[in-house]
Amino acid sequence: MKKIANPIKEIEHLKQQLNLNRERSTQIVFIALFTSILAMFMMLISVIDIEGHPEVRNYQKLVKTLYTEVSLYKKKEGLDWLQVENTVAKGVRLTFSPKLFQKTDLFRPGRAKLNPYFLPYINRIISLIVSLDLANYAKKHSHLVTKILKPGETLLVTIRVEGHSDSLALAKTALYQSNEELSTFRAYSLMRLIQLYSKLPAENFSIAGYGSFKPLVADTTQAINRRVEIYLVPQIVPLEKGLSNGL
């Protein structure tokens, strides 16, 4: 014969379960609230840290100003194929829209010479750079620059060109020994064009080659990874290195 459960004990058991569930719910709510408060606290610390370093804040404003000027020029000239991004840490990045590569590639496999098809686009980028008047950029924005610099320093806006490649192995008879070397020469070829037609001094330029280490798409063998990126980077340098840009 089946034993009948004690109803009083059943009720007590249900009460205990209910209290336990309430405690768990309270704990979850507390954890969520604590996490939110912690996130806000960390954000507040970051803001206070930036506020406590006005030179950092003014540098960010300067990069934003540069980004705004580039964006306005892009809109004015109708450069829909040009992608402009404020990376803050690395300055303003200029890249070609992937749509441009639907007809042809920027570089042939294993080659560092730019496809002539893209020369009109590169000329428009050079015109943009010339319009910024980088040689006098520090003077134009002295209200920000003077709040960034220390004695013996000046501001130099550099044009950093970064080259990239796909991951296909180079032939033994190739002109370059590695994809890293190939991507560096790709950056150099574009840098020389910009330098030649912008007439900016060599001190305003730098290059880097990353090979296939920073692909645009998951398939690292795709031709779209053979590219160059341009960064406009305000840099603080010793006064003797940037005399032509001194305030």
How much is the pLDDT for 47? 41
Closest CA to 65 of 163, 160, 148: 148
How much is the pLDDT for 27? 54
3 state DSSP class of 228: strand
Q: Which residue has the higher pLDDT, 221 or 240?
A: 221
Strand pairing report for 228-238 and 82-86? unpaired
Q: Which residue has the higher pLDDT, 105 or 2?
A: 105
Domain ranges of the chain: 1-52, 54-245
CB 158 within 8 A of CB 206: yes
Residue with tokens 């090979």: 211
Q: Which residue has the higher pLDDT, 152 or 29?
A: 152
CB 182 within 8 A of CB 135: no
Tokens of 216: 């645009």
Cα separation of 118 and 120, whole Å?
6
3 state DSSP class of 247: coil
Range in 6-10, 43-47, 199-203 the model is least confident about: 43-47
How much is the pLDDT for 50? 40
pLDDT over 50 (residue 241): yes
pLDDT over 80 (residue 154): yes
pTM of the model: 0.75
What architecture (CATH level 2) is domain 54-245? 2-Layer Sandwich (3.30)
Range in 1-5, 13-17, 213-217 the model is least confident about: 1-5
How much is the pLDDT for 118? 95
Beta bridge partners of 85: 93
pLDDT tens column, 82-138: 999 999 889 999 999 989 988 899 998 899 999 999 999 999 999 999 999 999 998
E strand map for the chain: 82-86, 92-96, 153-163, 205-209, 228-238
pLDDT tens column, 42-85: 544 444 444 456 778 889 999 999 999 999 999 999 999 999 99
How much is the pLDDT for 48? 42
Residue type, 235: Q
> In which band, very low, low, confident or very high, does the pLDDT at 152 lie, cut at 50, 70 and 90?
confident
Q: Which residue has the higher pLDDT, 211 or 14?
A: 211
How much is the pLDDT for 36? 58
